[in-house]
Amino acid sequence: MRQAKLMLVALGLCSLFNTSFAVSSSTETREDNVTANEKENNSVDNVLKEYGPITICADKAVYDGNKNRLTYYDNVFVMQIHNKHILCHKPRILKKGVEYFERDKKYTFEQLQKKWYKEAKKLCASERECNFISGQRLVMQLSKDKKVKTLTMESEGMDRSQFYTFPTNPTPNFIESKKITRGPVTGVAKKIIYNLTNKNLELDKKAKVTQNDNQYRGEKIIYDIKHDLVSIPGSRNRRSTIVLEGVSKQTKVKTGLMPISDYHKDAKKPHVVGLTG
């Protein structure tokens, strides 16, 4: 990882670490130089190689060595992408391949989240691949050998965590050009869990996922990044909705149920149909 990797090195001998991410000018300069010279790790056992290294920016972090867990607080975002060096501050000299996300304190979290989302979409489109998540609190669960297992993003109050991904069918070496599948996917929920081993995103509480104007809503939605599939676990106590708009042969999802468009032919039917499992 990039920013996170540097933190883990610093935390190596500490069981608990709590610090503000405000850094001095000399520290920022060193970070700029290190970032510019970083090389991606494409080794066989690197779980990050498919979508690239991970950068995490936040206002502060706590490390619990007993639980192999890093927790990031306030104005948090995660960016996973190839061929881009992401900084948590504006660099003094903007070099090729170096990008930064606005973190000015004059903006509310909602405003920052919108700015990050816009920047993430631009970068993802340029590389035609990425994973981006933002929220208020992030828990990074590490394995015993300090490799990232899961990233859990949560938000409170009126805010929701957000993700944006550009799913691809990657080539075996993950370096050559990639082919987009059914299009970029975006979603929001109170909690988003990114499992880096299984390559899936789990959205919990007030979840909504959108792809090619097709919308999925439910208390829980699982998005399989590897296979570009959306699923909504259902139960008698849980209602979910699927609204398909502008469906084409390439994007139509086979649910085994009557298409929403067919229900709309009957004026007596409601506009959105609840599906129960």
pLDDT digits (tens, 9 = 90+) for 200-254: 889 999 899 888 778 888 889 998 887 778 888 764 444 444 444 444 444 334 3
CA–CA separation, 242 and 255 (whole Å): 10
Span 55-86, pLDDT tens digits: 888 888 998 888 888 999 999 999 888 777 78
pLDDT in tens, 27-46: 444 444 544 455 545 544 54
> What domains does the chain contain, in order, with CATH numbers?
3-238 (2.60.450.10)
Q: What is the model's pTM?
A: 0.67
> Per-residue pLDDT for 148 more than 90?
no
53 exposure class (CB count in 10 Å sphere: 0-12, 13-18, 19+): buried
pLDDT above 70 coverage of the chain, percent: 59
Task: Give the angle 138-100-1 at the CA atoms, nearest 5°.
Answer: 50
Judge whether 19 and 60 are in contact, CB under 8 Å. Answer: yes
Q: Are 274 and 239 in contact (CB under 8 A)?
A: yes
